Structure 1
Amino acid sequence: MREDFADLWRKRAAAFWKESFIYISYAARSGFAGFLLMFFIIGAYYYGKFLQSLPEAFPYWRFTTPLLALPLGMTGIRTFMKQADMVFLAPAEARLRSWWTSSIVYSFVFQAAVTLLLLLLVWPLYLACADEAALPFAHAALYLAAAKLLAVLGRFRADRLVYRLNRSAETLVRWVAAVVLPFALLTENPGKAWLLLLLAAVVQSLVVLPFPRHRVAWEHLIRREEISLKRHYTFYSWFADVPKLKTKPAARRFLGGITSRIPFRQEDTHRYLYAKTFIRSEYYAILVRTSVIAILLFLAVNHTAAVLLIYGVVLVMNCATVSSLAQSHRYSFWLELYPLDAERRVKAVSRICEAALLFSNIAMGAALIGFHGSGRLEALAAVAAGFLVILYFTRVSLPRKIKHAGD
């Protein structure tokens, strides 16, 4: 029976990755992989130039600590559980040890890999600043892997606690440890860093072990699994239609006046429908968030080439985001019942995407040009090129993509 549960877990994990690879292939065909490669090459170039111009006594820990704290603190357990398990697996909840072991190992391996990748990212900066006092990379990797294992085990224990207050206490301890441990690792002597790791393990045990817990917190685990799946599907929805993604429409009444100005005519049906969809969907929220983040980065970064790179990256991301609007209502039979011209759908989606991208580009362009006086001409040229990219994308590339998908 134990092997049966392990086999069931593996089948669900395999089914998840089989589906994920389909969506990943869509993302690769969209040019996202090439964009990531370009971003990596350009980023590596400027990272190298940044390391060459480091001042003495540079506070490297201000960069290494948050970058390593994020993967340590953001800890979850992928159980691959479903709603039906509350009925069919509940009678065997005392014999699910192999299921939990598989979930813990799976979660630890993937999250530890992300942590070590970020360690590789910050390691050149650490070596340039620490010089002869630098730790061996294997030592730092082992320490962070142990910290990640502690976080995973603590989260697994916390997910079984009965009371939410106890789970919140574990979250607080985990995030405090996520900040303190990488800071101590790269700034203090090794003995003190390992002592702090031991202290974190003791404190975490004190906040999870003495309190009442479920043998299996079915509702909580299933809810956490659904949240994890939604994150995956939200990312995939940038590149393809994801039927399993359930999104709750947002009212956003302050934008309601936009659609009320659309004439009540048959030829404007698609225009009204997709304008409403864009305003009330996650596409609008993603576009706003990425644009605001870009503007904040323009204010924080005082390097012309870097801000122009950020501008280009965000522009490409915004184009990919709004283009997913074409996948909305793809399976709605009402659009097939009414005598509507299919060509008007392509034009409506393209014009709505164009308007959204133009407004976003105006906001980002104003911040880019206004806050970088030394590189104002370069910024002005970049924003002008951005407008041309948007017009080409929404009037040539996107309509062609929509028509091809409909064939």
Structure 2
Amino acid sequence: MFDSNKFYKQRLSAHMKELSRYLRYMLNGHLMIALFFFISAIAVYYQQWLARLPEDFPTSLIIGVLLGILVSYSPVRTLLKEPDLVFLIAAENKMNAYFRNVLIYSFVIQLYVILFLTAALGPLYFASFPDRSGNMYLLTIAVVLIFKVGNLIANWWMLKVREPGVRRLDLTVRILLNMTVFFFIVNGDMLLAGITTVLFAGVFLYDSSVARKQPGIVWDLLVEKDQIRMQSFYRIANMFAEVPHLKNRIKKRHWLVSMVSRVPFTQSHTFDYLYRITFVRSGDYLGMYIRLIIIGGLFIYFIPNVWVQILFVILFLYLSCFQMMTLYQHHRTTMWLDIYPVGKDIRQQALIKLLFQLTLIQTILFSLLFLFMQEYAGFVIALVSGTVFTFLFINGYVKSKLT
């Protein structure tokens, strides 16, 4: 007889082994050093910023929005796979214990985000409301946990609805209600918070009634959602190790390809062309590169100390170069590259050239930000130190990893 509880334990065990396999590579020395530097710098300047916090700072609005988004984003990790579409449909009426367990698992693995965000927002809360006791903030955290459970269950019910428009509308309404509830709680308007909570309860009960009217579980939707989340994890893990399960997403971007693919039509530029269009079209290389530029620029702009700004310039150049190195292994499963009449040294030089061009562009953008802030000494230091670091890192570390 099929035991869904036992099946869940087997599926969870396999899932945890899969995660731990790649987390060993992801949580390496490079990443831990970068994280330590990030957290230390942010903590120092966060504390300094709180010391001169304006009296009219919209703390209630900011905390309300962040907590509302936090509880609204409550994905259900079903751990389902494509073969389950064939083998588990027949046992649908015996899967109650399995889905109850995945709901509990989904809540538990999201607790760390709740703890991290509430801990980060705590100093802002007490700096803005020094007359309030710690019990008030603990009460707010308790409400966060309750709303997290409610949104998780509501998301599960809406996964029984096939129409994406209905799911999007329901999520939009709940996000707005969640933000409003926490805005009123942080602002101290408990009566309005109670009224908004009643409205949320009405949406919650409506979702329950809609789910009960559905004919059954939408298995293909559950598998698709879980695959999307696993592919996101694999894309991050692929920065640190080879991931055979990764499915590369291809985006057309014709206009951008036409701009970057202008290379001489010669054998020696074969991989120049390939790596350029791969960077633009495949995976999330371009998006990751742009995000690092934006995030790095924000850190540089808001941090007041010029030497710490320079350190962040170097740090984000390192992160960009380190993550773009995976381009070299991107086509490892494409056997046609092995029959190209092109030497390995040409392939390596093509990647080194592209990495140098990308990091040099990033260095120039960071340096121009110093000009915008009228820090002329910082402009010169950022430009020189960024260029020197790029040259040394690529010709030292990157080359050694490509041999």
Fold conserved between structures, TM > 0.5: yes
3-state DSSP class of the match of 2:21? helix
Q: How far is 1:250 from its partner?
A: 2.3
Distance across 2 between alignment mates of 1:234 and 1:210? 35
2:297–2:366 Cα contact (<8 Å) kept: yes
Give the Å deviation of 1:385. 1.4
Partner Cα distance (1:302, 1:33) in 2: 22
Unaligned 5+ runs, structure 2: none
Structure 1 residue 338: deviation in Å? 4.0
Residue number in structure 1 paired with 2:43? 44
Q: 2:115 maps to which residue?
A: 116
Three-state SS of the structure 2 residue aligned to 1:132 is coil
Identity across matched positions, percent: 24
Quote the Cα distance in structure 1 between the aligned partners of 2:39 and 2:131.
29
Give 2:18's aligned residue: 19
- In the other structure, the counterpart of 2:233 is 232
> Structure 1 residues 11 and 130, CA, compared in 2 at 3 Å: closer, same or farther?
same
Counterpart-to-counterpart distance in 2, 1:47 and 1:38:
14
What residue number does 1:8 align with? 7
Q: Which residue of 1 aligns with 2:197?
A: 197
Q: Give the unaligned 5+ runs of structure 1.
A: none
Q: Which residue of 2 aligns with 1:243?
A: 244
Secondary structure, aligned partner of 1:131 = coil
**Do the aligned residues in 2 keep the contact of 1:298 with 1:371 (CA within 8 Å)?**
no
Measure, in 2, the Cα distance between the counterparts of 1:279 and 1:262.
18
1:268 to 1:210, Cα distance in 2 relative to 1, 3 A: closer
Displacement of 1:380 after TM fit?
Answer: 3.3
Is the counterpart of residue 55 in structure 1 residue 81 in structure 2?
no
**1:183/1:376 CA distance change after superposition, 3 Å:** farther
The alignment's C-alpha RMSD in Å is 2.5
Cα distance in 2 for residues equivalent to 1:329 and 1:240: 14
Structure 2 CA distance for aligned equivalents of residues 231 and 341 of structure 1: 33
In structure 2, what is the equivalent of residue 356 of structure 1? 358
- Structure 1 residues 348 and 165, CA, compared in 2 at 3 Å: closer, same or farther? closer
Query: How many angstroms does 1:106 deviate by?
Result: 0.9
1:122-161 correspondence runs (5 A): 122-136=121-135, 137-161=137-161
Q: Structure 1: how far apart are the matches of 2:318 and 2:60?
A: 31
User: Taking structure 1 as reference, are residues 273 and 58 closer, same or farther at Cα in structure 2, changes over 3 Å only?
Assistant: closer
Length-normalised TM-score, structure 2:
0.90
Aligned partners of 2:371 and 2:379 also within 8 Å: no
Paired residue for 1:280?
281
Structure 2: how far apart are the matches of 1:163 and 1:252?
29
Distance in 1 separating the partners of 2:69 and 2:36: 23
Following superposition, the deviation at residue 57 of structure 1 comes to 4.1
1:72 — aligned with what? 71
CA–CA separation in structure 2 for the residues paired with 1:178 and 1:384:
48
Q: Does 1:216 align with 2:217?
A: yes
Residue 327 of structure 1 and its aligned partner are, at CA, apart by: 1.5
Please report how far the alpha carbon of residue 119 of structure 1 lies from its aligned counterpart in structure 2 after TM superposition.
Answer: 0.6
Q: What is the CA-CA distance between 1:369 and the residue it aligns to?
A: 2.0
Amino acid at match of 2:40: I
Aligned length: 398
Equivalent-residue separation in structure 2 for 1:20 and 1:376 (angstroms):
46
